[in-house]
Amino acid sequence: MFKSLFLLLIIVLLMPTAALFAQEEMSDGQKAWMDYMTPGPMHEMMAKTVGDWKSKNTFWMSPTGEPMASEGTAKFEMILGGRYLKSTHKGMAMGMPMEGINLQCYDNATKEFTATWIDNMGTGMSVSKGTYDEATKTINFTGTMVDPMSGKELDYRQTIQLLDDNHQVIEMFMNSNGKEYKSMMVELTR
């Protein structure tokens, strides 16, 4: 009987210690989730672009093609508690009205940006991932999109250079016969 009571006493005394270890493990997990879900410096950088912008858009259909220029507007807003940047773009492309939406995020866990683009010039979505270069104030993306003529995925490169609080330049580069060429430049002014 004494042994049973002694064993029960030890178990009762050890229970808070076991609960404390479980709580510490839970706290580490909770901290990881809190870090993951809390906007940080990269989200603050994206938030600086919130507002209405005017755009000067230039497109090249091929490396030797003549540039097509147009003007447009863009509205940038942070959504879902400052975690994502949504920009809505309006203008002309290839002589037709164009409207597109870009969603951009900075993933605290992977330490990289992800961007998606959709527009009324197609039915697909392009997806890219990138990193920020502090020295040039540029987000460098690489991604894929579908070529509607072949139905195959095309690789592209895109840069977003934040020149200052009221000027940014978005450039897109495609490949033709193994050589990269600039296919788009959007100069944004607020």
Q: Which of 10-14, 45-49, 75-79 has the lowest mean pLDDT?
A: 10-14
Spell out a b/e string for 57-67, using b for 16 or more CB atoms within 10 Å of the CB, else e.
bebbeeeeeee
> What is the model's pLDDT at position 2?
54
Instruction: State pLDDT tens for residues 61-106.
Output: 888 889 999 999 999 999 999 999 999 999 988 789 999 999 999 9
Mean pLDDT score of the chain? 89
